[in-house]
Amino acid sequence: MSQTCDVVVLLSGTGSNLQALIDSTRTGDSPARIAAVISNRADAYGLQRARDAGIDTRFLDHKAFEGREAFDAAMIELIDAFNPKLVVLAGFMRILSAGFVRHYQGRLLNIHPSLLPKYKGLHTHQRALEAGDTEHGCSVHFVTEELDGGPLVVQAVIPVELQDSQQSLAQRVHSQEHLIYPMAVRWFAEGRLSLGEQGALLDGKLLAASGHLIRT
C-alpha cells in the first residue's frame, strides 16, 4: 500500500463533488485522505458535508481582504498548514491568482462541466444546447494560469438528447462528475497521475490532448 495522500478540497457551494470524493476515500483501499475542506462562504453546504464526515473545515472570507492576491496568500497559508500533496477545486467560485496557481503547480486539480476546450467559464449546459451539440460532458484538468485551460486528465462524454433541458443535461453531467473526479484523485494519490512538461501523464505516458476519454 502506498503512502496516504492528504488532500485539501476548496469549495463555495453545496459540495456534491466533495461528497463523491468523501465516499470514494472511505472504501478502505483508497490512498487518498481528505485532510480539510476550505470555503470562502460560511454558508456553503459543503462545509456541513465535511463536518458530518469528521473532516476539518475552515472558512476564509474573501471580502475581508484587499484584493485577490492578499486573499490567495492567506489561502496558501491556510492550505499549507495541512501539508497536502493535492489540492482539489470542487466548485470553488473564485478566479485564482497566478501566484496561487504556481505555488501548487502539478498538484492542483479542477473539474469543469463541459468538454474542454469547449465552453470555458459559466453557463456551459446552456451554451452546449444553443450550439446544437450532440455531445456534452465534463473534464478534470490540472490548473494552470489560463482559466479552465490546463492539461486534461479525464473527460466523460454523454450524448445530448433531443428533449434535454439545461436542468436534465446538468443532472446527467453531474452524475459523470461524481465518477471521474474520484477516479482522477485516486490516480494522483496512487502516484499514477502527474503533470509533465508536455502535459498530463498517466502511468508515465503522455495523455492525449483530450485526456482519458470515457463515453456513456
pTM: 0.96
pLDDT class for 1, splitting at 50, 70, 90? Answer: very low
- Are 32 and 186 in contact, with CB atoms under 8 Å apart? yes
> pLDDT by residue (tens digit) across 18-34?
999 999 999 878 999 99
pLDDT class for 46, splitting at 50, 70, 90? Answer: very high
Q: Please give the CATH topology (third level) of the domain spanning 1-104.
A: Rossmann fold (3.40.50)
Annotated catalytic residue, options 112, 136, 178, 212? 112
Inform me whether the pLDDT recorded for 62 exceeds 90.
yes
Q: 15 a known binding residue?
A: yes
Instruction: State how far the Cα of 11 lies from the Cα of 104, in Å rounded to an integer.
Output: 16
The whole-number pLDDT of residue 27 equals: 82
> pLDDT by residue (tens digit) across 165-201?
999 999 999 999 999 999 999 999 999 999 999 999 9
Q: 110 a known binding residue?
A: yes
CATH architecture of 111-215: 3-Layer(aba) Sandwich (3.40)
DSSP string, 25-86: HTSSS-SEEEEEEEES-TT-HHHHHHHHTT-EEEE--GGGSSSHHHHHHHHHHHHHTT--SE
Q: For the chain, which residues make up each domain, given as ranges?
A: 1-104, 111-215
Domains 1-104 and 111-215 share a fold: yes
> pLDDT by residue (tens digit) across 113-159?
999 999 999 999 999 999 999 999 999 999 999 889 999 999 999 99
Active site residue 136: no
